[in-house]
């Protein structure tokens, strides 16, 4: 096995196997979910004999500029190349831009079984991407099987990878800027890991994160060629593909990768961005039994990196998964706490159960208590109304889990999956606000609630931070309603009031 690429492990032909009821991929007999498409393995059917001729690799031709794919997409140029395929820019007949990812040409003398696994991995990437409606992830629009081999069609994102940003930067990148990127990646990972079954990316690195063009610094996590579904009770991954320096020890075949494996990859990515050091240089091995991960303390390499950030990164890079952050949400909270403290100029408030908070409700701060058993539903009913009110005013913060009459902390009970559901409900409502505002402009924070100086298990204050936008636009909720913020809460504008508000904003803009 070379140091730059891990070797693919094929499912042993002598193992008890059965096909997936959806895609017919061979799986171990005890598997609960398909290793290719993630479908539940609930059918006990024998593996049919497949004629060898039907598995032979297709005649492969490289996509070229000017080539028309599926009578819809015209290839413009090649824009990149990854471990599993080449990437091309293309346009449709309406001039819309897309990315076409073409599977690499199979190596000569490849076995039919190995080619099928290779093809299934490519199909799995398309299946995963087509089911990810998230602002920090790409979206697959089509999967085309052509004479030039399979092609995944994805939305085109204008921007540069973080690897390119790092390479083109003559000065050290801002620590706060990197933290904001990392927080967005954490949100994307939380979403992936909350899927059933969870999706493990397995290839997080600067090259697989795109920084979109624009002032709001939004990132997209790409590069899903190695992504897989987490399978309960599986001893280790079906393959050991990865990127040296960014892949954790368990990805070399010692155990199954899980959410904590992606935490390691993000930690290595931050290490590279903050130190300008290639993590591949810090992993040494002669064989899989002699792995040595040696990441020097980040602050010692770059004294400009704060001790707080260095501690977060080094925790994410622990060789033992149990010593890392256990969820992307947990790592996000640690990063967000650092940013919040810097932005406020003081330590963030500690929320203590059954005690009032020091701050009060103001024009820019709203407290809400949740009395229902399903917090996501309670928050979902109100969140876009308050967000719209703040967007139409001066921005602000909404806290769920604090009584508004006496400011006493009661908290919101939510385990990991419920917290993710709350986050998704909030983002779903926010993304339907018109005119649209980039999701990266908002922040959703889960603050731990304490009692007797100890955090209460699964009890949080849910905070939504709404930006102050320098614009004269008027914003509408998902129901087409207009709200403005008042000292007493929010106010829904009537038709006449909306007209008056539009006139007032136009006049203000003219004076400016």
Task: Report whether 276 contacts 172 (CB < 8 A).
Answer: yes
The bridge status of strand 228-229 relative to strand 396-400 is unpaired
Task: Report whether 277 contacts 271 (CB < 8 A).
Answer: yes
**Phi (first) and psi of residue 368, to 5 degrees:** -140, 135
Q: What is the pLDDT of residue 281?
A: 87
Q: What is the pLDDT of residue 225?
A: 85
Reduced DSSP (H G I as helix, E B as strand, rest coil) percent helix, strand, coil of the chain, to 5 = 30, 20, 45
Q: What is the pLDDT of residue 267?
A: 97
Q: Which 8-state DSSP code applies to residue 406? A: T
Q: Which 8-state DSSP code applies to residue 170? A: S
pLDDT along the chain (512 residues), means of 10: 32 47 59 56 41 39 86 91 82 91 66 64 81 81 72 89 94 91 95 93 96 85 91 86 90 92 97 93 68 82 90 94 95 90 66 90 89 89 92 91 93 88 88 83 88 91 88 85 84 84 72 56
Domains and CATH numbers, the chain: 68-155 (3.30.200.20), 159-344 (1.10.510.10), 357-402+421-445+462-511 (3.30.950)
Task: Report whether 258 contacts 200 (CB < 8 A).
Answer: yes
As a whole number of angstroms, the distance between CA 208 and CA 425 comes to 27
Continuous segment of H or E residues that includes residue 461 = strand 454-466
The encoded tokens of residue 204 equal 């997080």
Using a cut of 0.75, tell me whether the model's pTM lies above it. Answer: no
- The CA dihedral of 105, 109, 111, 117, to the nearest 10 degrees, is -20
Q: How far are the Cα atoms of 430, 483, 491 from residue 498, in angstroms, in the given order?
A: 21, 9, 11
Q: What is the pLDDT of residue 253?
A: 87
As a whole number of angstroms, the distance between CA 456 and CA 463 comes to 17
Tokens 């967007």 belong to which residue?
391
Q: What is the pLDDT of residue 42?
A: 58
Q: What is the pLDDT of residue 32?
A: 57
As a whole number of angstroms, the distance between CA 435 and CA 59 comes to 48
């Amino acid at each position: 096995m070379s140091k730059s690429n891990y070797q693919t492990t094929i499912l042993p032909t002598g193992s008890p196997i059965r096909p997936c009821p959806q895609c017919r991929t061979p799986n171990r007999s005890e598997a609960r979910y398909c290793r290719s498409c993630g479908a539940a393995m609930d059918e006990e059917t024998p593996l049919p004999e497949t004629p060898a001729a039907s598995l032979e690799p297709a005649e492969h031709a490289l996509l070229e500029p000017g080539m028309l794919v599926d009578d819809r997409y015209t290839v413009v140029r090649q824009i990149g190349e990854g471990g599993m395929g080449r990437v091309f820019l293309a346009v449709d007949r309406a001039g819309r831009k897309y990315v076409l990812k073409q599977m690499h040409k199979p190596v000569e003398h490849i076995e039919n079984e190995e080619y099928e696994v290779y093809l299934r991995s490519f199909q799995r990437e398309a299946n995963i991407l087509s089911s990810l409606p998230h602002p920090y992830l790409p979206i697959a629009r089509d999967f085309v099987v052509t004479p030039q081999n399979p092609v995944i069609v994805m939305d085109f994102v204008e921007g540069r990878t973080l690897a390119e940003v790092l390479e083109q930067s003559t000065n050290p990148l801002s620590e706060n800027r990197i933290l904001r990127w990392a927080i967005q990646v954490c949100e994307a990972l939380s979403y992936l890991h909350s899927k059933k079954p969870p999706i493990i990316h397995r290839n997080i690195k600067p090259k697989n994160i795109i920084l979109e063009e624009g002032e709001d610094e939004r990132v997209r996590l790409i590069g899903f060629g190695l992504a897989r579904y987490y399978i309960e009770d599986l001893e280790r991954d079906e393959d050991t593909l990865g990127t040296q320096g960014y892949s954790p020890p368990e990805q070399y075949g010692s155990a199954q990768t899980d959410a904590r494996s992606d935490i390691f990859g993000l930690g290595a990515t931050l290490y590279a961005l903050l130190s300008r050091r290639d993590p591949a240089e810090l992993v040494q091995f002669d064989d899989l039994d002699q792995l040595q991960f040696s990441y020097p303390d980040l602050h010692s390499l770059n004294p400009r990196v704060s001790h707080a950030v260095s501690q977060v990164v080094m925790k994410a890079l622990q060789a033992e998964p149990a010593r890392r952050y256990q969820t992307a949400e947990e790592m996000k909270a640690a990063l967000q706490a650092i940013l919040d403290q810097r932005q406020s100029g003081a330590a963030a408030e500690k929320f203590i159960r059954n005690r009032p908070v020091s701050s009060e409700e103001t024009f820019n701060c709203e407290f809400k208590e949740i009395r229902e058993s399903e917090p996501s539903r309670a928050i979902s009913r109100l969140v876009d109304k308050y967000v719209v009110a703040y967007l139409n005013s001066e921005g602000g913060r909404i806290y769920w889990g604090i009584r508004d009459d006496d400011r006493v902390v009661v908290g919101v009970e939510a385990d990991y999956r419920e917290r993710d559901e709350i986050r998704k409900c909030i983002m779903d409502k926010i993304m339907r606000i018109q005119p649209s505002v980039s999701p990266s402009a908002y922040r959703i924070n889960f603050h731990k609630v304490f009692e007797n100086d100890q955090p209460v298990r699964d009890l949080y204050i849910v905070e939504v931070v709404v930006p102050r936008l320098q614009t004269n636009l008027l914003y509408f909720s998902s129901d087409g309603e207009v709200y403005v913020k008042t000292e007493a809460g929010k106010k829904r504008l009537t038709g006449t009031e909306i007209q008056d508000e539009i006139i007032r904003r136009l006049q203000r803009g003219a004076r400016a």
